[in-house]
């Protein structure tokens, strides 16, 4: 099933957000469900936060006397906190990227006027798991290194590697090839990606001002717009090669 609306796929700021808006409206309920699922899966990580100070111990039903029971209780609490921290870290780097990468592919399919396939949310676990995890770790490491180098290089790297998730899912390339292709595709479009990311911040803020009623459509619009940009750049870069005449 395909939609009848023709999308204007031109890799510019205005056209990407304009196309993203149309994609969101054409696939509103399906993309809403995708964003809602992402919110549920990323929500628990925001709720895990251990901040203990000496004031917290004043609420204990006993006074500190250095007994073995109290020492064991505090050790158990610390071990439990460490366990939850490691669990959250593993979830963040070993499971969540698969769902996020899959969600991006759902938005790309919507831009391509295809019926979004919800299986993309979990398909990566058995079809492309290692590439997704390694690509996510590689991008994270490169961006962090850049941010430590006076921030600006990190922003540049983040913009130039913005297409890595799409490429890993769409082209089935390994992490290194995905990074190299993203760097190639985004050449000449770095400022567009930066501007779109900058504006998306204010779109999210406006959505938050409307509480949950606005943050979901805001997220759908931003994700649809970036998927539109990816598809537009892909068409722009691949079209010349298709038009080269084949020698007889």
Q: Check if the beta carbon of residue 208 is closer than 8 Å to that of residue 92.
A: no
Q: Which domain holds residue 210?
A: 13-48+92-238
With 50 as the cut, is the pLDDT of residue 126 above it? Answer: yes
Q: Indicate whether this model's pTM tops 0.75.
A: yes
pLDDT(242) > 50: no
Cα(66)–Cα(112) distance, integer angstroms: 66
What pLDDT, on a 0 to 100 scale, did the predictor assign at position 162? 97
Q: Which two tokens stand for residue 138?
A: 């590689």
Specify if 192 maps to a domain.
Answer: yes
The pLDDT, as a whole number, for residue 243 is: 46
How far is Cα 241 from Cα 144, in angstroms, rounded to an integer? 35
* The pLDDT of residue 2 is above 70: no
The share of the chain scoring above pLDDT 90, in percent, equals 62
Tens of pLDDT, residues 50-61: 455 555 445 454
In a domain, 57, yes or no: no
**Separation of alpha carbons 226 and 163, rounded Å:** 9
Residue 219 lies in a domain: yes
Classify residue 121: in a domain, yes or no: yes
**Of the candidates 186, 171, 96, 194, which has an alpha carbon nearest to the alpha carbon of residue 136?**
96
Whether 118 is covered by a domain: the verdict is yes
What is the DSSP secondary-structure string of 116-161?
Answer: --TTHHHHHHHHSHHHHHHHHHHHHHHHHHHHHTTSHHHHHHHHHT
For the chain, what is the domain count?
A: 1
pLDDT reading at 19 higher than 90: yes
Has residue 42 been placed in a domain? yes
- Inside any domain, residue 156: yes
Greater confidence (66 vs 174) lies with: 174
CA angle centred on 229, ends 225 and 230, rounded to 5°: 120
Contact yes or no for 106/34 (Cβ under 8 A): yes
147 or 72, greater pLDDT: 147
Region for residue 3 given its phi and psi (left: phi exceeds 0; alpha: psi -120 to 50; beta: otherwise): beta
**pLDDT of res. 5:** 57
Q: What is the mean pLDDT of residues 206-234?
A: 92
How many CB atoms are closer than 10 A to CB 77? Answer: 12
- Does the pLDDT value for residue 69 go beyond 80? no
Instruction: Identify whether 39 is part of a domain.
Output: yes
Q: What is the mean pLDDT of residues 197-205?
A: 95
pLDDT at residue 86 in the model? 85
């Amino acid at each position: 099933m395909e939609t009848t609306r023709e999308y204007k796929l031109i890799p510019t700021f205005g056209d990407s957000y304009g196309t993203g808006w149309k994609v969101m409206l054409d696939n509103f309920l399906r993309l809403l469900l995708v964003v809602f699922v992402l919110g549920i899966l990323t929500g628990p990580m925001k709720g895990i936060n251990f901040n203990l100070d000496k004031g917290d111990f004043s609420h204990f039903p006993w006074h500190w006397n250095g007994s073995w029971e109290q020492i064991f209780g505090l050790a158990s609490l610390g071990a439990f906190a460490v366990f939850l921290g490691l669990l959250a870290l593993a979830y963040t780097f070993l499971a969540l990227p698969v769902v996020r990468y899959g969600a991006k592919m759902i938005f790309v399919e919507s831009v391509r006027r295809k019926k979004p396939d919800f299986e993309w949310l979990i398909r990566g676990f058995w079809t492309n798991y290692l590439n997704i995890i390694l690509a996510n770790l590689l991008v994270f490491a490169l961006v962090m290194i850049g941010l430590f180098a006076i921030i600006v290089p990190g922003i540049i790297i983040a913009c130039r590697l913005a297409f890595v998730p799409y490429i890993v899912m769409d082209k089935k390339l390994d992490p290194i090839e995905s990074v190299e292709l993203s760097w190639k595709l985004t050449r000449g479009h770095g400022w567009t990606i930066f501007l779109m990311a900058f504006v998306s911040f204010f779109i999210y803020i406006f959505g938050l001002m409307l509480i949950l009623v606005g943050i979901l459509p805001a997220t759908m619009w931003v994700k649809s717009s970036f998927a539109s940009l990816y598809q537009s750049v892909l068409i722009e870069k691949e079209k010349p090669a298709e038009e080269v005449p084949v020698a007889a």
